[in-house]
């Protein structure tokens, strides 16, 4: 089998480390399953991103949906990032960290009236609207509060992001955004909407995009709309590229953010406005692993199974997307043979697996496995199915680590239930 290593997850004397801390040390002290993140990865990834676009005025808004742990959000905001929130809960988390409301943008295809009202009362930087009805509702709520809402329209450029259909968001068939023609008509109604100020044009064409061409195509299309509006006296303040840059889970041929900048910078410079970005997965995915313990190994006819204490409740992506996450032993035992096995969890579902028909070194009960690329969409998609407690999160910095979210207790699961 091939072994996955990164800048911060490396083997020393055949044992996996996160930065300068052995994964076994964390597992022994905290237990498994456990999410383990490397702070240096998050910081380096952010600096790489912002440096790539230094030639234009820009702001990065960390997409907290990828990993909404308070310490992770704070890691990015301490570096100067704003925060992209998709719900009242994510907004609550950003405020809890102490993020200035003027550095928060409220997104989401189905915002409730209460979420819109809260965004206006807090005077967030802007609300990203995704439908004509939502724009009229924002105008109505803003009028009732005596405010003028800063609004950007998410425009759907009808570009194929060439990614998994569940995470494609820029095609006409997807639920997100407003088509270019309808958006143009709405921008032209600026004078009719007395309690709305259109501040920008936004897009987000999908997630885990591994080719630059869709970004170039979408940027070109929306830049044409931006400049057309500008020529007609509608001066927008920002152009939002969204997120979606792909990362390596297996052997994807990804591109660097520097290469993306080189490709789209000539387009962005023509706009003469501030550029927004909303990366999430790109900043966090490969900065984390999920450490699991092998409970049993078994064989049904010619089929091998490795049963772990980590389940679809801890990492849902393989079950719903058939997404690939590299799985390998924390300790590389010399002389072990490779086998083909399903790596599964204890949840009572056939869909509870981390990997199917995967080549991996044979394992014994009690040994540890590392599930890579778990820094994004791990804990944020976790559940309590089968009354399982959600796993703790650990942040490593150099040769030390801190528990930034403890393992749930059974009291956590029952705190609001009553027996009548």
The residues annotated as belonging to the active site are: 348
User: In this structure, is the dihedral angle defined by the CA atoms of residues 193, 195, 197 and 203, taken in order, positive or negative?
Assistant: negative
From CA 405, how far away is CA 35, in angstroms rounded? 10
Contacts of 201 (CB under 8 A, 6+ apart): 152, 153, 155, 183, 222, 225, 226, 229, 236, 238, 239, 240
Match 């709405």 to its residue by tokens.
186
From CA 167, how far away is CA 175, in angstroms rounded? 11
From CA 45, how far away is CA 283, in angstroms rounded? 6
Match 């990015």 to its residue by tokens.
76
From CA 221, how far away is CA 376, in angstroms rounded? 29
DSSP string, 291-302: EEEEEEEEEETT
Cβ–Cβ < 8 Å for 374, 336: no
Q: Residue 290, class by beta-carbon neighbours within 10 Å (0-12 exposed, 13-18 middle, 19+ buried)?
A: buried
Q: What angle do CA 252, 258, 264 make, to 5 degrees?
A: 100
From CA 267, how far away is CA 219, in angstroms rounded? 7
For the chain, the distance separating the N- and C-terminal CA atoms, rounded to the nearest angstrom, is 55
Which tokens hold the place of 188? Answer: 């032209």
Other CB atoms within a 10 A radius of the CB of residue 416 amount to 6
From CA 333, how far away is CA 340, in angstroms rounded? 17
DSSP string, 358-374: EEEE---TT-EEEEES-
From CA 71, how far away is CA 403, in angstroms rounded? 10
Cβ–Cβ < 8 Å for 206, 157: no
From CA 119, how far away is CA 145, in angstroms rounded? 12
From CA 311, how far away is CA 169, in angstroms rounded? 28
């Amino acid at each position: 089998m091939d072994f996955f290593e990164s800048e911060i997850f490396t083997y020393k004397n055949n044992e996996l480390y996160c930065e300068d801390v052995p994964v076994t040390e964390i597992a022994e002290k905290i237990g498994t399953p456990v999410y383990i993140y490397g702070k240096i990865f998050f910081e380096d990834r952010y600096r790489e991103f912002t440096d790539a676009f230094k030639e234009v005025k820009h702001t990065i808004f960390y997409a907290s949906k990828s990993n909404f742990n308070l310490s992770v959000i704070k890691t990015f905001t301490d570096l100067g990032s704003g925060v992209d929130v998709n719900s009242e809960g994510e907004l609550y988390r950003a405020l809890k960290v102490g993020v200035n409301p003027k550095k928060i943008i409220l997104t989401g295809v189905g915002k409730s009236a209460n979420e819109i009202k809260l965004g206006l009362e807090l005077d967030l930087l802007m609300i990203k609207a995704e439908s004509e009805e939502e724009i009229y509702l924002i105008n109505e709520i803003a009028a009732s509060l005596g405010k003028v809402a800063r609004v950007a329209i998410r425009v759907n450029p009808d570009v194929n992001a060439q990614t998994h259909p569940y995470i494609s968001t820029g095609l006409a068939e997807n639920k997100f955004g407003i088509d270019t023609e309808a958006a143009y008509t709405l921008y032209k109604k600026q004078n009719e909407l007395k309690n709305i100020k259109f501040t920008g044009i936004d897009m987000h064409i999908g997630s885990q995009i591994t080719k630059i061409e869709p970004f170039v195509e979408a940027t070109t299309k929306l830049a044409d709309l931006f400049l057309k509006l500008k020529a007609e006296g509608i001066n927008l303040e920002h152009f939002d590229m969204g997120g979606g840059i792909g990362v390596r889970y297996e052997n994807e041929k990804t591109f660097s953010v520097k290469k993306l900048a080189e490709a789209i910078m000539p387009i962005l410079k023509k706009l003469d406005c501030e550029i927004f970005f909303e990366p999430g997965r790109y900043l966090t995915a490969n900065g984390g692993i999920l450490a699991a313990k092998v409970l049993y190994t078994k064989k049904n006819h010619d089929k091998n199974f490795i049963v772990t204490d980590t389940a679809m409740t801890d990492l849902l992506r393989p079950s719903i997307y058939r997404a690939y996450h590299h799985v390998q032993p924390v300790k590389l035992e010399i002389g072990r043979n490779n086998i083909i096995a399903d790596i599964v969890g204890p949840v009572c579902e056939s869909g509870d697996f981390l990997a199917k028909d995967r080549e991996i070194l044979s394992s014994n009960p009690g040994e540890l496995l590392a599930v890579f690329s778990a820094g994004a969409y791990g804990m944020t998609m976790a559940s309590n199915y089968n009354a399982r407690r959600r796993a703790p999160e650990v942040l490593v910095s150099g040769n030390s680590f801190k528990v930034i979210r403890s393992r749930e207790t059974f009291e956590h699961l029952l705190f609001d239930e009553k027996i009548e």
